[in-house]
Amino acid sequence: MKTQKFFTKLILRVLLLGMVISLMGCIPPQNEEEKLVISDKERLTSTGMDSENVNTLADGNTAFALDLYHTVKPDHDNLFYSPYSISLALAMTYAGARGETGEQMADTLHFGLPQEELHPAFNALDQGLTNLGGGVPEELGDAFQLNVANALWGQKDYSFLPQFLDTLSENYGAGLRVLDFAANPEDSRQIINQWVSDQTEEKIQDLIPKMGITPLTRLVLTNAIYFNATWMEPFSEDLTQEGIFHTIEGEVVSVPMMQHGQSKYLAYVKGDNYQAVELPYVGNRVSMLVLIPDPGQFSTFEEGLSPTLLEDIRLNLGGQSVSLTFPKFEYEAELGLAQTLAAMGMPAAFSTGADFSGMTGNLDLFISDVFHKAYVGVDEEGTEAAAATAVMMALTAMPVEGVELTVDRPFLFLIQEKETGTILFMGRVLDPTQ
């Protein structure tokens, strides 16, 4: 993985950039220079992550993450995305959804809580995630960071319902910033993209593509997540050497393989047609769960991956002495999600009959497109990852005998918060050289 020169060591920088939602209205406003407006509503302080509603939300997010995985995997080889970013950004959009549009979104996204409980639950979960670094010893410095930022960008002189703005401000910390999309769509795009770049340590550039904002744009919702962490048990750079990896097509490729140098006590389980190992990051509150199907069993295991199976794997992980050999890899992935989400069960949101009247009081907005890009790199020190989403809206146990585990074949992986099981990122590696 390419390491930035100013780092003294490679760290996990995950930037999960989520949902940019561009909403359009029908009345072109007057020209005016863009400006910044801070909402007068402050974010509500969360009481913690242990509530029943937060657990219900996390379970629903996991179900959506796996539904999305099964839907998009046929069209991609290596795959990486941020289900949490997508869920969070669509939750902000859902705050303005009503009628059949809201019902379809709730079903598809597995939002099992009513609106008045869902958004406070997201607030509690989100604030709990950003506080995960609190237990990391100070001497470890910046070995673990997880920051989340949200913002609203609205067309000047275009009216949004106070209840909608208050919900996003109080539960997502997203104040309203005013731009003139009608007069300066390209300048507005650059301003928002610069905010995205700033929030993500410049890992996500040009999130909104050219022509992504038009004179009809009325609202853009942005979410950015920055994650920076090192392994609790780093691999030894001196031991990394070229090794064999068997691709999904049955080819053999050479890839740098990392080793710890000696067996480590890791959470591990062997199932009927797979092995799984959990690699914790510093602080032991976030981990990478690696799922390695047995040779010839990748498709069978992948097709059977469900929330129930995933929970069973998590519950059966046990302490084990593991001599792990794991590939270094780095790649980017890109998803277009408009047709995907519509096919998954929420077509109303993408039609001219969409009901987002909770945003403006009118039936004048619908989702026109959804873009998602992501990056991941894994090396001896940790993981670096980034993701961005744009949703465009337009008008009308004890150790037993040691295990030797060489990950030399296709595998799946999740970067997860361990207490609730929230999946921050998810992906698969079919060929680490691509």
Looking at the structure, do residues 70 and 173 belong to the same domain, yes or no? yes
How much is the average pLDDT of 268-293? 94
pLDDT reported for residue 365? 85
User: CATH no. for residue 351?
Assistant: 3.30.497.10
Looking at the structure, do residues 289 and 415 belong to the same domain, yes or no? yes
Looking at the structure, do residues 256 and 281 belong to the same domain, yes or no? yes
| Domain housing 275 | 236-327+398-429
Listed residue (243, 249, 225) closest to 145, CA to CA = 225
21 belongs to a structural domain: yes
Are 266 and 320 spatial neighbours (Cβ–Cβ below 8 Å)? yes
Looking at the structure, do residues 211 and 175 belong to the same domain, yes or no? yes
pLDDT reported for residue 434? 78
Q: What is the pLDDT of residues 30-48, one digit of tens each?
A: 334 445 555 677 888 865 5
Are 124 and 54 spatial neighbours (Cβ–Cβ below 8 Å)? yes
Radius of gyration over alpha carbons of the chain, in Å? 22
Looking at the structure, do residues 303 and 216 belong to the same domain, yes or no? no
Q: What is the pLDDT of residues 171-210, one digit of tens each?
A: 999 888 898 988 998 998 899 888 888 887 888 888 888 8
1 belongs to a structural domain: no
Residue reference for tokens 């974010």: 43
Looking at the structure, do residues 316 and 335 belong to the same domain, yes or no? no
Q: On the CB side of 252, how many CA atoms lie within 13 Å of its CA?
A: 3
**What is the spatial distance between Cα 106 and Cα 125, in angstroms, rounded to a whole number?**
18
7 belongs to a structural domain: no
8 belongs to a structural domain: no
Q: Give the C-alpha distances (Å, rounded to integers) separating 139 from 8, 143, 252, 286.
A: 15, 9, 43, 19
Give strand pairing partners of 35: 178
Tally of domains within the chain: 2
User: CATH no. for residue 403?
Assistant: 2.30.39.10
User: What's the mean pLDDT when you consider all of the chain?
Assistant: 84
Q: What is the pLDDT of residues 93-119, one digit of tens each?
A: 999 999 999 999 999 999 999 999 999
Looking at the structure, do residues 155 and 190 belong to the same domain, yes or no? yes
Looking at the structure, do residues 285 and 375 belong to the same domain, yes or no? no
pLDDT reported for residue 135? 67
Q: pLDDT band at residue 24, thresholds of 50, 70 and 90?
A: very low
Tokens, residue 274: 């797979």
Looking at the structure, do residues 377 and 407 belong to the same domain, yes or no? no
376 belongs to a structural domain: yes
434 belongs to a structural domain: no
> 352: part of which helix (H) or strand (E)?
none
How much is the average pLDDT of 412-422? 90
pLDDT reported for residue 396? 63
153 belongs to a structural domain: yes
Looking at the structure, do residues 162 and 216 belong to the same domain, yes or no? yes
Listed residue (156, 76, 61) closest to 109, CA to CA = 61
Q: What is the pLDDT of residues 283-309, one digit of tens each?
A: 888 999 999 999 999 999 999 999 999
Looking at the structure, do residues 221 and 241 belong to the same domain, yes or no? no
pTM over cut 0.95 = no
Looking at the structure, do residues 120 and 142 belong to the same domain, yes or no? yes
Q: What is the pLDDT of residues 34-85, one digit of tens each?
A: 455 556 778 888 655 558 999 999 999 999 999 999 999 998 889 989 899 8
9 belongs to a structural domain: no
What lies within 8 Å, CB to CB, of 297 at 6+ separation is 273, 274
